[in-house]
Every structure is written in structure tokens, then in C-alpha cells.
Structure 1
Amino acid sequence: MKSAFIILSGGPSKYNPKDPDRHDQSWDNFVTPPLLRSSGAELHDPATEDVHWLVYEPAYKDRWDSDTTHQKSAPTQHQHTVDIKTKRKRLNYIDLLKARAKDRGWKYEGLSLAQGFWDYINKLKSTKVSRVWFYGHARNDLWLSLDHDSSNEAVSPASSAIVTVIDIKKVAPSSFVPQKAATHPHKFFGCNTKAFAEKWASAFSVFAEGSDGKVGFEKIHDNSGKVVLSSGAEWYQYSKAVAPRLLHSKVGDQVN
């Protein structure tokens, strides 16, 4: 029986041109990387794994509504929606993502709450999870979206859109392919995912990787979907049995 390779894609905020850190200039940062990596043979072996793509849909619905209605304040973002409707012949961002998943033979699942991530793993039952990859915002916990405060600073989303470290206990270690039999590590592609990866590795006896510091998605189209380390960031691999391994530490390093 094939195992389940789960890709969890968080979503962008509504584009805010006054955001001092310029978050989420593009709507697709957290969905394009796995799509690009699937164009080669490096993502997974279809003979042993099925890809289950879990996408936090509320963020993409809100972003679509925002991008379609702010032509003057966000012309580049607005043009993305025009291209999707006229060139891609798709209704919206989510419609496009579903089509991309279908093209690749992936199992698509839209999430409306962070709890849906844990529920999805638990309902697999007889199917073991070989690995989980996450793409999105994070700060110790995994954020499935991003908000802005009255000063236009980026802040955490509502609690219903946060996959928390303390909730890792909601699934059992038996849900996963054990470390000794696994061929790929779990990876959390986001800023400040170190704490989550460390707890994940310990709880489920698997290899897990995450960042201490910020990672960048700006060059994903040039790097075949790979994120890069920002200044001062480090990328670690964790295991319950051995000490953490530092895998990347130079600014601009591509995280494979």
C-alpha cells in the first residue's frame, strides 16, 4: 500500500501596499513551490507515495476578492486575476489550484480551519503518512494566513488558522512511517519553524527540518520551487535519537 505524502499550503494575506516588510506581494508563494518541484522526478515516487495537497482555502478566497477589486492600489496583483480568468480560463485562485492538482494526479483537500489538518491525518487510518511538508507563514506555530494591524504591521491570524505546536498531540505516532523505514524527512518551509520541526521529530520519531530565522520565497521561480535562507537564518534537521544537524547557514542558500 502506498503511503501519503501530505503537503500543507498556508495562504497569503490580503495584499497591503503599506506593509513595511512587503509581505505577500504575490498570491502564490505557498502553492507554486511544490508545483514547480513536481515538474521533475525529485518531489516523490508515484509508485510508493500519493500526494495529498491540503490548501487553506479562506486565505485564497479573501485574496482573490481583494485582488479583483483593487485595480488602482494593487495593479500587479489585480493583473494576476485577469490573467487567470483570460489566459488560464479559471474562475479564481482555488479553481486554478484544483486544476493543477488534477493535472498531477494529486489528491486535493480544501481546509477551512487549522483543525482540519489534524482531522485529515486521523481519518487516513490504514494509510501511513510518509512525510509532511508545510509552506506558509510561521512563528514557532504554523500560520495558515496572515493579518495586518492598524499600523499595517503583519500579525498572526485568528487562532482557528494556526496549527500549533501544542496540538501535535492530536495525532498518534502510529500515523507515520517510522524513522527507520522513511526515505525522506518532514520539512516545514516557513520562517521560524525550528521549534515546530523539533517537536514534530520528537513526538513522531521522524526526521524533521525547519528554520531558525527567515526564509525567502522571492526566487522560487528561478530556483525550481526552492526557498532560500535570509540573512542570519539557519536550517536544521531534527531527530529524536540524535543531536540537531545544521544543514544550511549561508544567506542565499537554497533549501532542498
Structure 2
Amino acid sequence: MYEKYICHSVWGPSIYEPRDPSRHDQSWDNFVTPPLLRSLKVPLHDAKTEEVHWLVHEPAYVSRWGSDIGGQKTAPTQYQHAINVKKRFSSYLDLLKKRAAERSWKYQGISSAEDVLAHLKGLKASRISGVWFYGHARDDLWLSLRHDSRDHEAIEPDSKDVLSLSRIGTLKASSFVPHNTAKAPHKFFGCNTKPFAANWAKLLGVYAEGAEGKVDFARIHHNGGMVVLSAGAKWFQYSNAGFPFPLGIKAGEPVG
């Protein structure tokens, strides 16, 4: 019987907005590339006892594909990214599904935060040994971003695309491998994920890690898929008792 390892790449990029002052999501693949690259160097699971379930927020990648492929004049760099993908695949999602198949991962498209919870609750054959998340966050986890129509700043998505702290409690701790026998902590690779990791650890009886401050995905292709901490950010691990433990990773250093 398998234990389940869940590699979350569920949160997707926004449509690229050239007028965004912070220039979020310059590349479509920020959140999907890290686990793909990391799996080439070190296995992300024990193939004898675990499965990888890769949850992808499909609407974000469908929207981003349409935006990039139509952005030759407004976003030429993003347009070229899409053209490069189109040489071998029909879309971003086509690429992701084939990458998952190459790794024998179980691909699962999702469309809302409730889909994520439903998938986790549906894994009843055995316990979940780990959850990794890559994406946008601000205490809660966001499936994507929107942009304000006036000043073009990135803003929170619609409520259906937010996995809030309050929803963690709808999961059962008994569905997860407990902290004292788990092989690795749960990890939330995103900006400001510290509160989510703290609540995840305490409510589900696991170890979990998250960031205080911002993380940077810009060098994932140079770091083998690993994000780095931005200036002033810290990386914390939480125990099942909810106690924080700073791991001492400095700004600019990769987070494993």
C-alpha cells in the first residue's frame, strides 16, 4: 500500500501585466519549473512507498497561454516564451501533462481552492506523507493573481481561488503521516507563507515550513529549481505544537 506524496504546483501565474510596478510573473513557468528541475537531480519521493500527485491550477495556465501567444506587441518576451513552447507542445498545459507522465506523476487539474481540499480528502487508501506548494500567497494561499484596473498593482484573486487559513481545519490530521514518522516536512514555497505553515503544522500534526517575507523565483533555472530568500526574509519550520524554528537561511541563499 502506498503513502501519498503531494507535490503542489497548484497555484498558477497571472496574465502578464507590463504596467505592474512589481512586474509579477514575468515568466509563465515560475511555479511549475521548481519541482520539475529538482526531480532531475534528487527524487522527490520514494517510488516504492509513495506517489506524486501534481495538482495544477489549469485556468491560470489556459489564460496565460492565450495572453502570451497574443502578446507579440505588448509583451514580446512572454510571446517568445509561448512560441518556444509551441515548437514542441500545443499549449502550456500540454507541456505540463507530458512532463508529469515522464516522471510517472499523477497529474490532476484543479480549478478552485475547494478542488485542492477535495483531492486531499479523497486520498483515503493511505496517509499523505507531504505537501509542497509553489505559488502566490499572503498568509492565505492564492491560486493566481489579478491586477487592479486603475494602477495595475497585483491584487488578491477571487475568493474561490484562495485557500484560506480557516479551511485547513476541514482536513483531518489522521489523513497525514504524523510528524514523528514523516520523512520530511511539508513546504510552502511562496511569499508570506509563514502563517499558513504554522497553522498547517499545528492543525494536522506535521512539520511544515514557510517564509516570512518574500521569496524569489528568478534564479530557479540556475539553482536546480530552488527558490531563494529576498532581502529581509526568513525561513521557518513549525512543529506540530506550533512552535517556530528559524532555519538560518540568509537572503540570496537557496531554500531546500
Q: What is aligned with 1:159? A: 159
Distance in 2 between residues matched to 1:41 and 1:113, nearest whole Å:
30
Q: What is aligned with 2:121? A: 122
Which amino acid in the other structure matches residue 230 of structure 1? S
Q: What is aligned with 2:30? A: 29
SS at 2:109 equivalent? strand
String of CA shifts for 1:10-41, please: whole Å, max 9, x gaps: 10000011111110000000000000000022
Which amino acid in the other structure matches residue 79 of structure 2? H
Q: What is aligned with 2:66? A: 65
1:10-25 alignment, distance < 5 Å: 10-25=11-26
SS at 1:168 equivalent? helix
Per-residue deviation, 1:72: 0.6
1:34-49 alignment, distance < 5 Å: 34-49=35-50
String of CA shifts for 1:144-168, please: whole Å, max 9, x gaps: 1001002110001001111111000
Per-residue deviation, 1:249: 4.2
Distance in 2 between residues matched to 1:185 and 1:153, nearest whole Å:
33
TM-score (norm 1): 0.97
Which amino acid in the other structure matches residue 7 of structure 1? C
Q: Percent identity?
A: 56
Which amino acid in the other structure matches residue 125 of structure 2? S
Distance in 2 between residues matched to 1:222 and 1:66, nearest whole Å:
26
Per-residue deviation, 1:102: 0.2
Distance in 1 between residues matched to 2:65 and 2:200, nearest whole Å:
33
Is 1:133 the counterpart of 2:147? The answer is no
C-alpha contact (below 8 Å) 2:173/2:204 kept by paired residues: yes
Q: What is aligned with 2:76? A: 75
Is 1:168 the counterpart of 2:156? The answer is no
Which amino acid in the other structure matches residue 167 of structure 1? R
1:99-110 alignment, distance < 5 Å: 99-110=98-109
Distance in 1 between residues matched to 2:61 and 2:171, nearest whole Å:
27
RMSD over equivalenced CA pairs, Å: 1.0
Which amino acid in the other structure matches residue 34 of structure 2? P
Is 1:200 the counterpart of 2:209? The answer is no
Q: What is aligned with 2:110? A: 111
Q: Which runs of 5+ in 2 are unaligned?
A: none
Distance in 1 between residues matched to 2:242 and 2:177, nearest whole Å:
18
C-alpha contact (below 8 Å) 1:248/1:255 kept by paired residues: no
Which amino acid in the other structure matches residue 75 of structure 1? P
Note closer, same or farther for the CA distance 1:51–1:21 as it changes in structure 2 (3 Å cut). same
C-alpha contact (below 8 Å) 1:202/1:239 kept by paired residues: yes
